């Protein structure tokens, strides 16, 4: 029997951390974790300086082959369970994004080759207080050259009218990690990514603003709050959006190892990739991330799909949670 593992959310830096460990006798995890670290302090500084407001505004959603993580084409038909007809549309989150859960959600910017891209992500609680949880395709190309992205930064609570508003600053990644199943095979069942952020003024981001919880091996049948920064039309990427939905069905987007993915009602578009699916939100805005926006189908704009956070995702988290 799989064990449900969670990391409690942090509202302030002084709160107690409850970190997961692999259960003795847990099911073997298929595959490994791949990582890339920044080469030097200069690389990190260049990444932050690179992201001018103009570049942030012109960056585009990342596109993947065979799914709509960046609003691309899907050629393999979905195999789904019974549909639940509960219409849901993304609603904009009220500004300013300086309270929980909004402040833990952010916009991700990165380059691949000569092109600039956007995704979404969530700052999660960890012993190191520097982990951003996102989609695998938001840290590495698993379907093309199989390389990690560059110039990777996270802007928590991003809110922009085109001028670029970073109330908590721009934070560069010193290490990017994902599952080998994503990096080498483009397996959407394991489309998870993580970034360890560099300290600013001697502190990690989680020490400054706290972090959302994260959980593994939870029942898939949940009521989800899905956050992201959709940028493909009809959205423009300037605002944070939220969808509330029950589980609609399980999906099978890839013939490979890992649990079936999950489907919810949500019409967010490219740019929302990597945004967290959160359950058990309390009155303080604290809950636990149990999936991320991963892909969709071009003939179905009303649903988002995310990987199930089982042992594979927990293995990734365990390998990045303590990176100082």
DSSP string covering 48-83: HHH--HHHHHH-EE---TTSTTTT----SPP-----
Cα–Cα nearest to 160, from 56, 233, 274, 275: 56
Q: Under DSSP, is residue 44 helix (H, G, I), strand (E, B) or coil?
A: helix
For residue 316 the two structure tokens come to 């990734």
Q: What is the pLDDT of residue 8?
A: 58
**What domains can you pick out in the chain, each with its CATH number?**
5-14+32-320 (2.40.10.10)
Residue 7 has what pLDDT? Answer: 56
How do residues 252-262 score in pLDDT, each as one tens digit? 988 899 999 99
Burial 282-295 (b: 16+ CB within 10 A, else e): eeebbbbbbbbbbb
Can you give the pLDDT at residue 71? 31
DSSP per residue, 214-279: EEES--S--EEEEEE---STT--SSS-EEEEEEEEEEE---SSSS--EEEEE----TT-TTPEEEE
DSSP per position, 123-136: EE--TTS-EEEE-G
Query: For residue 60, what are its two tokens?
Result: 């585009």
> 200 forms bridges with which residues in the sheet?
203
Query: What is the per-residue pLDDT across 240-252, written as a single tens digit (0 to 9) for each?
Result: 999 999 999 999 9
Mean pLDDT, all residues of the chain: 85
Task: Compute the distance between CA of residue 127 and CA of residue 323 in angstroms, rounded to an integer.
Answer: 8
The secondary structure element, H or E, covering residue 112 is: strand 105-112
Q: Assess contact for 37 and 175: CB atoms under 8 A.
A: yes
CA-based nearest residue to 62, from 273, 237, 298 = 273
Given a cut of 70, the residues of the chain with pLDDT beneath it are 1-31, 39, 64-88, 161-164
- Per DSSP, 170 falls in state -
Residue 165 is predicted with a pLDDT of 86
Q: What is the pLDDT of residue 175?
A: 94
């Amino acid at each position: 029997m799989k064990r449900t593992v969670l990391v409690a959310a942090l509202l302030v830096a002084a709160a107690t951390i409850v970190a997961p460990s692999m259960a003795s006798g847990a099911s073997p995890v298929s595959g490994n974790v791949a990582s890339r670290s920044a080469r030097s302090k200069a690389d990190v500084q260049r990444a932050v300086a690179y992201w001018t407001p103009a570049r942030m505004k012109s960056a585009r959603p990342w596109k993947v082959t065979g799914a709509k993580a960046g609003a691309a084409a899907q050629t393999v038909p979905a195999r789904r369970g019974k549909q639940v007809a509960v219409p849901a549309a993304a609603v904009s989150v009220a500004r300013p994004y300086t309270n929980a859960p909004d402040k833990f959600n952010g916009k991700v910017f990165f380059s691949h080759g000569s092109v600039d891209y956007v995704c979404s992500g969530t700052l999660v609680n960890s012993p190191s207080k520097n982990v951003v949880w996102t989609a695998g395709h938001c840290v590495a190309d698993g379907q093309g050259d199989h390389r990690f992205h560059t110039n990777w930064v996270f802007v928590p609570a991003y809110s922009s009218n085109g001028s670029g508003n970073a109330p908590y600053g721009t934070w560069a990644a010193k290490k990017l990690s994902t599952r080998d199943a994503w990096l080498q095979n483009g397996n959407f069942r394991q489309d998870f990514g993580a970034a360890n952020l560099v300290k600013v003024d001697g502190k990690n981001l989680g020490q400054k603003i706290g972090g959302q919880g994260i959980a593994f091996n939870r029942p898939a049948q949940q009521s989800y709050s899905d956050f992201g920064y959709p940028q493909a039309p009809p959205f423009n990427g300037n605002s944070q959006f939220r969808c509330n939905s029950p589980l609609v069905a399980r999906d099978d987007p890839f013939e490979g190892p890992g649990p079936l993915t999950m489907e919810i009602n949500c019409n967010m578009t490219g740019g929302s990739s990597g945004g967290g699916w959160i359950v058990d939100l309390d009155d303080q805005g604290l809950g636990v991330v149990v999936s991320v926006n991963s892909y969709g189908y071009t003939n179905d704009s009303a649903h988002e799909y995310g990987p199930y956070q089982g042992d594979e995702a927990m293995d990734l988290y365990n390998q990045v949670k303590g990176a100082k």
